[in-house]
Amino acid sequence: MSGGLGVSFYFGASGGGDVSLARFVSDSSAPLLEAADWIAAGAEAGEAGFGWYGLPDQDIDSVLMTAEWLKGYDAIIHVGIGGSSLGNLMLHQALLPMYFNEASGAGVPRFYLADNPDPEKASAIWERVKGSRVALVGVSKSGATAETMSQFLWFRSKMAEGGASPDENVLVITDPEGGVFRAFAREARCRSLEIPPSVGGRYSGLSPSGLVTASALGGDVRKLLAGAKAMRGLIAANRDVMTNPALMLAAIHRFHEIGKRPMAVLMPYSNRLETFAEWFAQLWGESVGKDGLGTTPVRALGAIDQHSQVQLYTAGPDDKLYTLINVRDREAEVELPSVQEKSLSPLSYLSGHRLGEMLGYEAMSTAAALVKAGRPVVWIDLRRLDAETVGALVFFYEYVTAVTGRLMGINPFDQPGVEQGKRYTYGMMGRAEYSLDAREALACFEGIKKKSVSC
């Protein structure tokens, strides 16, 4: 299946019998269409969790104005974790030149992401930016995320060591009304942007939390949203589940989950999509892993993981669904030279070929090897990798995830398992209202330590 976006989907190698899959999709037509209607209705009503569906229509004038402000700095420190960081990494890697920090200057700041609260990373970031003009961007919908807020406080204190108030150099992206960050923005009178209340963190890549730094660093976020809107239109207009790629892929994921394939591998053949696979892993894992259901997301990168994982994929247990993403026309290309040396003559078959051509053949070879081994393969073919196709791909996977969760009978927009860990952390860090959680966490942890071996 393909469209004007230059994104094509191929579902021919289903594994486990194409006929049984076709029957499953056909039998699932009613619940698939119900899921599509449920998403549209929830979005129209502004229900919690459904806000991502309307993000392609948002007014981004304030985002673009803020991005222009950020361009005046030498460096940006972005503090966030989970959906408040992976969306940024995914967009930056897909939209910007590789190693863009090394090419910064001329109105393009360097970018540093403080996500994991590792003191070595935080200290290393500060060593690279101190003494320069630094903007601090804090992203948390609630302003209560411990990993984010602890690092925000530390970087803000380092920025204040020069004696001046740092808050004129601070941007917070948070809930429009409530939470610690919103209260801070009012008190400090710093710049702020809003995450719509109905948009969850892992679905927020196309919200201001993902767009503003992508735009400040040179990404075309208008085209990004245009691609997402075009994909939404294509999906919403097609009520035939056999030709609607999002409904089809949701059904395929559900089919293989029921068929005892509890892992979903996403393997792009492009370095610019490496973090897209990581973004997918959070989106998928937090959305569908509930009530003993779901499949485990596995991120891989072609061709690197042909040399580390494909042995397992083709000859190990048949417990995975594979999705490969190929890019046909690459922005840069490298033509291989002719071979002159006799010692290198065995390599002469490479002469005249291009690296991108070889990478494409490697993607095809992996797909073929998986099919030969009887493994289920989905193939996504991108004519090019630009802002529009990235936006389309982001929206597509958000939609597929939501539909799959609905098919499973779970809520794809909450994350109760994550919240438990947060409560334990709050308690052990001394937050008074979570003292009982701290005691429970310590008691559970003691169970791990009952048997130990030291070296």
Question: Looking at 127, 307, 342, 433, which residue is catalytic?
Answer: 307
Identify whether 286 is a catalytic site residue. yes
Task: Report how far Cα 94 is from the mean position of its chain's Cα atoms.
Answer: 11
Residue 260 falls in the annotated catalytic set? no
For 134, 155, 287, the CA distances from 71, given in Å and listed in that order, are: 11, 19, 35
| CA angle (390, 391, 392) in 5-degree steps | 90
Look-up of token digits 């078959």: 349
Q: Report which residue type is found at 290.
A: K
Catalytic residue chosen out of the listed positions 147, 257, 286, 398: 286
Give the span between the Cα atoms of 135 and 153, in whole angstroms: 14
* DSSP β-bridge partners for residue 111: 76
Q: How far apart are CA 272 and CA 91, in angstroms?
A: 9
CB 404 within 8 A of CB 254: yes
Annotation marks residue 229 as catalytic: no
Which tokens in the block code for residue 169?
A: 């150099």
CA distances (Å), 53 to each of 31, 64, 326, 384, 440, in order?
19, 21, 26, 24, 38
Closest CA to 43 of 33, 53, 56, 34: 53
**Residues pairing with 323 in the sheet:** 266, 378
Residue for token digits 């939209």? 95
Catalytic residues: 286, 307, 422
